[in-house]
Structure 1
Amino acid sequence: MTQIWSISLIVFVLLVVILILKKFFWYGRLKQLTNKHVVITGGSSGIGKCAAIYAARQGAHVTIIARDLKKLEAAKNEILHACQNKEKQKVECVSLDIGNNYGDVEKTFNNLERTIGPIYMLINCAGIAICGKVEDTTIDNLKYMVNLNFMGTYYAIKAVISSMKSAHEGIIVITSSQAALLGIFGYSAYGSTKFALRGLAESVAMEVAPYNISVTLSLPPDTDTPGFALEDQSKPLETKLISEGTGPVSPESVAEQLMKDALTGRFFSTVGLEGFILTSLCAGMSPISSITELLLQALLAGMLRLVGACYLISFRRIILNCMKNRDKNKKSE
C-alpha cells in the first residue's frame, strides 16, 4: 500500500511539473499585429507605454490615450522609434479623460477608426491607486478611482464592442491587479474597483466569445511605474509590510507577458509565482483558456488554499503588531 501511495505521489508531482512547464514555456501560435490598429488607454507611461512599444515592434498601427499631452508626445516619439516599418505604420496620441464622459470617449474612438482603421486590439491600462482605510478615504478619491479605473475601462470597451463584433475579430485587454483576487488592508477602495474589473472581464468574455473576440485580464503585481511611486506615498504601514517582497517588477516584463497572453487568447495574464498561485486558487468560474490551465487549477486548488491560509495568518499578525505598536506609542506620549 505504501508503495502504491509513493508511486501515485510521484505521478502527481510529475504531472504537475509537466503542466507548469507547458503553461509557462509554451504559448502556441501568437496572433499577428501587422497593419492592425491597437489602442492603449493610459499609454503615455508605465505598462501602457511598454505595451504600445511592443505592438509597434510587431508592425501595428498604435494609438495611445492619456490626459497629459506632454507625456503623450514624448511617448509617441518612443513608439515611433520602435516601429517595425516607420514609413507605413501610423502612431497617434490623444489627450482624453477616459472616465469622464462616455460621449467624448465614443466620439474619439469613432474618429480613430475613421482615420487610422478599425480597432483590432484595445488595451485598457488607465488607472490609479490611492491607498487608505475606509474611514481615511475621501469621497472625492473614491469617485476618482471608480471613474478612472472602472468607468474608463467600461466606456472604452463599450465604444469598440460593436465594431469588433461586426468585424468578427478582436482582442480586449483589461489591466486589473493582483488586488482583484484578494482583499488587502488599505486597498478597500482601490481593490473594489479592481475586483469590479474582474467581473467585467468575465462577463464581457462570455458576451463576445461567439464573435471570435478574446478577453485577457492582466493581474500585475507591484510594478515600477510612475503610478506605483504615487501609490506608495499613500500606503498605510500595514499595506507596505504586507506588500513587501522582492520589490516591484519592471513594466516591460508585465507588458510583454500581457501581450503574449492576449495574442494567444489566454484569459489570465500574470507575472511571477504569486500571480500563478492567486489565479490558480481564485479561478472560480473564470473562462477556460486551456486544458493545461484547467488541470493545474483542479489539481492545486486544495493545496493552494492551505498556502493562502498561511499568507492570511501572516497578514493578520502584521496588522495586529502595527496596532500594538501604535497603542504602545500612544501610552508613552
Structure 2
Amino acid sequence: MNTRVQHNDSTQVQLPAATAAYWADRHVVITGGSSGIGLAVTELALGAGAKVSVLALGDPAMSALAARTGEFDGRLATFTANVTSPDQIRTALHGARSQHGPIGAVIACAGIAKPGYFTELSESDFRNHMEVNYFGTLTPIREALPDLLTVDRASITAISSAAGFLSLIGYSAYSPSKFAVRAAAEALRQELKPKGITVTVVYPPDVDTPQLAAEAATKPRELSALSSGTPMTAPAVARALLIGAASGKPTVLPNLATRILRRITTTAPELTAHYVDWIIARIQRGRQRTSTGS
C-alpha cells in the first residue's frame, strides 16, 4: 500500500505505508512550505494525512497555497512569517497550535542562495545567508521544542545542502550557512535523542526549483561547471526527506550522485580539492582565450 499525491508539476510521488502512517494526523510545521522543496514536502505530507502548518513569506506563492486550504479538510493552515523574526515565528506557532494542537514535527525548509564571487558579494549578503539559513532554522526549532518534548516520536528535520559538506567557488556566503546547519543539527541530535526526539539533516544536490533558476543570474561560470548535471525534482527530494525523518535517520542523501560525492569528500579530500582546482583552472583558461580572441 502506498500513499500518493499529485504535485503541481504533474510528477507523482509515493510514500511507503509505514512512512505515511508516521505522518498521518501528526501536526507538522514546515517553514518555507509554499514553494520549492518546502511546497513538495507540504503536499506530500498532506497526502499522507498530516495536519500541516506552513510558515512562509507573504508572497504570491504563499497566497496561492493559502487559497488551497479548502482542499484538505482543514488540515492545512498557513501563517505569514519571516524566519529571521523570532516574534513572527512565535506568533505563527501560537496560531498553529490553536488550529492543529501540539506540534509533532518541524521541517525547516526556508532558505536563500545568492551565489557570486567573494569580492562581489556584500557584507549584507553574508549576514542574510546566516540569518535565513542558519538562524531561520534554529528559531522555529527552539520555539517548537516544548511541544516536541511532549509528543511521542517527535522529529526535527533541517535542510542543509551538498554545499554543506563541499564548499565551492561562488558559494562563499551560502556554504558556510549550510555547514552551520549541519553542525547545529548534529549537536542537537545527540542532545535530543535520549529524550525521544530524532533529528535528521537532508543534503540535496541542485533541485529544480524557482530558487535554482534565480541563482543563474549571479552564478559564476566555475560554479556552473562544478555543479553541472540534471537537477533532482522537488517531489523526489521531499519523498526522501519524509521517509528519512519518519525512520529517524540522522542523514538523508537524496540521490546516488550525492551519496558518492559525500563518500569521496570524506575519504579523499585531497583528490576532491585537486579535481575542483582542475575544473576551475580549465574554465578560467577558456575565459582568458575568449578575452584575448585567441
Give the structure-2-normalised TM-score: 0.87
Q: Say yes or no: does 1:55 pair with 2:26.
A: no
Q: Say yes or no: does 1:96 pair with 2:57.
A: no
For structure 1, list consecutive stretches of 5 or more residues without a partner in the other structure: 1-26, 283-300
Larger helix fraction of residues? 1
CA distance in structure 2 between the aligned counterparts of 1:332 and 1:69, rounded to whole angstroms: 45
Any conservation in 2 of the 1:38–1:60 contact (CA below 8 Å)? yes
Deviation at 1:168, TM superposition (A): 5.2
Map residues 277-296 of structure 1 onto 2, 5 A cutoff: 277-280=260-263
Deviation at 1:327, TM superposition (A): 3.6
Any conservation in 1 of the 2:66–2:77 contact (CA below 8 Å)? yes
Q: Which amino acid aligns with 2:248?
A: G
Q: Which amino acid aligns with 1:324?
A: R
Any conservation in 2 of the 1:181–1:195 contact (CA below 8 Å)? yes
Deviation at 1:167, TM superposition (A): 3.2
Q: Say yes or no: does 1:195 pair with 2:206.
A: no
What does the per-residue CA deviation read over 1:220-257, in whole Å, with 9 as the maximum and x for residues that have no partner?
A: 01000001111122110000001112x11100000011
Q: Which amino acid aligns with 1:190?
A: Y
Map residues 127-206 of structure 1 onto 2, 5 A cutoff: 127-167=111-151, 169-206=153-190
Q: For residue 74 of structure 1, what is the aligned residue in structure 2?
A: 64
Any conservation in 2 of the 1:169–1:211 contact (CA below 8 Å)? no
- Evaluate the alpha carbon distance shift between residue 330 and residue 58 of structure 1 in structure 2; reply closer, same or farther with a 3 A threshold: closer
Q: For residue 257 of structure 1, what is the aligned residue in structure 2?
A: 240
Q: Higher Cα Rg: structure 1 or 2? A: 1
Deviation at 1:281, TM superposition (A): 5.2
Q: Say yes or no: does 1:314 pair with 2:275.
A: yes
What does the per-residue CA deviation read over 1:46-75, in whole Å, with 9 as the maximum and x for residues that have no partner?
A: 110111111111111111111134321312
Structure 2 counterpart SS, 1:97 = coil
Deviation at 1:329, TM superposition (A): 4.5
Any conservation in 2 of the 1:215–1:265 contact (CA below 8 Å)? yes
Q: Say yes or no: does 1:233 pair with 2:223.
A: no
CA distance in structure 1 between the aligned counterparts of 2:240 and 2:69, rounded to whole angstroms: 18
Which of 202, 206, 210 matches 1:222? 206
Q: Which amino acid aligns with 1:36?
A: R
Q: Say yes or no: does 1:324 pair with 2:262.
A: no
Q: Say yes or no: does 1:268 pair with 2:251.
A: yes
CA distance in structure 2 between the aligned counterparts of 1:258 and 1:52, rounded to whole angstroms: 11
Q: Say yes or no: does 1:43 pair with 2:40.
A: no
CA distance in structure 1 between the aligned counterparts of 2:280 and 2:64, rounded to whole angstroms: 42
| Count of aligned residue pairs for this structure pair | 278
Any conservation in 1 of the 2:46–2:75 contact (CA below 8 Å)? no
CA distance in structure 2 between the aligned counterparts of 1:106 and 1:225, rounded to whole angstroms: 28
Seq. identity, %: 28
Higher mean displacement: 265-274 or 48-57:
265-274
CA distance in structure 1 between the aligned counterparts of 2:122 and 2:233, rounded to whole angstroms: 30
Q: For residue 93 of structure 2, what is the aligned residue in structure 1?
A: 109
What does the per-residue CA deviation read over 1:189-241, in whole Å, with 9 as the maximum and x for residues that have no partner?
A: 10000000000110111111122111110110100000111112211000000
Q: For residue 4 of structure 1, what is the aligned residue in structure 2?
A: none
Larger strand fraction of residues? 2
CA distance in structure 1 between the aligned counterparts of 2:17 and 2:45, rounded to whole angstroms: 18
CA distance in structure 1 between the aligned counterparts of 2:287 and 2:203, rounded to whole angstroms: 33
CA distance in structure 2 between the aligned counterparts of 1:215 and 1:79, rounded to whole angstroms: 28
Structure 1 counterpart SS, 2:23 = coil
For structure 2, list consecutive stretches of 5 or more residues without a partner in the other structure: 1-15
Q: Which amino acid aligns with 1:230?
A: A
RMSD, matched Cα: 2.2
- Evaluate the alpha carbon distance shift between residue 233 and residue 80 of structure 1 in structure 2; reply closer, same or farther with a 3 A threshold: farther
CA distance in structure 2 between the aligned counterparts of 1:268 and 1:326, rounded to whole angstroms: 38
